[in-house]
A and B are shown apart, each in its own frame.
Chain A
């Protein structure tokens, strides 16, 4: 399994989880915190996020994820963070009691 494949898979899972409401943008940002984003997102992407928020007048998790798409999340954010988000959502859904740290 290559890094590209794993990245692609995490992008799909995050996107599917959002589309199917397994978790929402708030849940994503609960794990991909501003510190995480600030640490791992490139400067250009951080700039876009800020620009979009300024244009809309607010920065919401939804708007952040409109800019930082699942593909970009999977590309820049550590997969452990994304997986923690996915696993936590699964635990909330009652699928498992174990959450990968």
Chain B
């Protein structure tokens, strides 16, 4: 006995011939029944169709799910209720048991079956709107807070970095490129050497060549400069290359 095939044939032909209407089917195949018995993939198809349709009605539901799927997944008594109602109406009669209330076929089976079904949809529906506002409120304030904080930090770093450019500029570069830091310094010094060497003072050249090391040498260099530059200070102050050399040296660390 292939009762499902019989159901499909009977119900399909009833719908095709106008013996039954989709509303008659949905009267028995209620959303609760579908929620209990219809597989999730078919639910996904049904939801997709409902979302894309301008109007959701019984015809859309029945056509989307399809009679074969209804007969396959729903209890036979429910499908039979649809067929029985169609047959009774075609004869001008009414099947009291099936026609009276929609949940009758369900109520004839187990009473607890429909009850657990009814709560879940409302819970999901009620929980959705309740859950929606809190995230909105939480997202609003939370977004600007870190953004302003981060921007403030960046701005403060930039502002503080400019005055203390040599300190902060060298520190990160030395941390990132420790091995190449000395090399970079030497490269920078070697690049600037021609400019320094172009200057008249040979002391400058020596000092720049050893600037990487420490301040002790600069102190050593400075002392002889003071003695020598008394007559040359004016020329050095007017010379932009010498100042650029000092500035460029500090810039080298920042650029790197």
Question: Which of these, B80, B93, B95, contacts A95 with CB under 8 Å?
Answer: B80
Among A15-23, A25-33, A36-44, the one that faces the other chain is A15-23
Q: What bracket does the count of chain B residues touching chain A fall in?
A: 20 to 34
- Whether B152 sits at the interface, judged by CB under 8 Å, is no
List, in ascending order, chain B residues with CB within 8 A of A96's CB. 77, 80-81, 84, 97-98
In-complex Cβ contact of B17 among A9, A15, A100 (8 A)? A9
Let me know if A90 is at the binding interface, CB within 8 A.
yes
Q: Contact check, A8 vs B13: say whether CB atoms are below 8 A apart.
A: yes
CA distance A84 to B98 in the complex (A): 16
Secondary structure call for the A interface: helix
Helix, strand, loop or mixed for chain B's interface?
helix
Q: How many whole Å from B94's CB to the nearest CB in chain A?
A: 9
Query: Which residues in A have their C-beta under 8 angstroms from that of B19?
Result: 1, 5-6, 9
Instruction: Tell me the A72-86 residues at the B interface (CB within 8 Å).
Output: 79-80, 83, 86
**Interface residues in A, total, Cβ within 8 A:** 28
Cα distance A80–B108 in the bound complex, in angstroms: 25
User: Does B2 reach chain A (CB closer than 8 Å)?
Assistant: yes
Binding site for A on B (CB under 8 A): 1-3, 5-6, 9-10, 13-14, 17-19, 76-77, 80-81, 83-84, 86-88, 90-91, 93, 95-98, 108
